[in-house]
Amino acid sequence: MTPSTADTAATVRNEQLHQHGALVRRIAKRMRARLPANVEMDELLQAGLIGLNEAITRFEESFGASFDTYASRRIEGAMLDSLRAADTLSRDARAHQRAIRAAVQALEHRLL
């Protein structure tokens, strides 16, 4: 790849990142609404941009899906992966924690 080809590819990639940045923000806002207050929007956006970059790199029109559909799944997956990596508890421990919280709420409801 010649330097001019590399520059052109980088320019195209940057244009695509800019063009689909609103998609990343939309997914991050939707996901942020379901998360605890300690999760920063900037963390979701950063992970989403990484997912978008991967989607741009790996997308093939022969998959039969639109780029937005494909990218949405990659972006959301990157955000979830980032959250899981930052979490100090395992998935099983989180599930156990949710079950305990639900049992306490059910008891409170029945006893009050």
SS3 track for the chain: CCHHHHHHHHHHHHHHHHHCHHHHHHHHHHHHCCCCCCCCHHHHHHHHHHHHHHHHHHCCHHHCCCHHHHHHHHHHHHHHHHHHHHCCCCHHHHHHHHHHHHHHHHHHHHHC
Domain span including residue 95: 3-111
The fraction of the chain above a pLDDT of 70, given in percent, is: 96
Q: What is the pLDDT at residue 63?
A: 73
Which has the closest alpha carbon to 47: 74, 68, 20, 65?
A: 74
Q: Could you tell me the CATH number of the domain that includes residue 19?
A: 1.10.1740.10
Model confidence at 85: pLDDT above 60: yes
Mean pLDDT of all residues in 82-106: 92
Count of domains for the chain: 1
- pTM flag (> 0.85): no
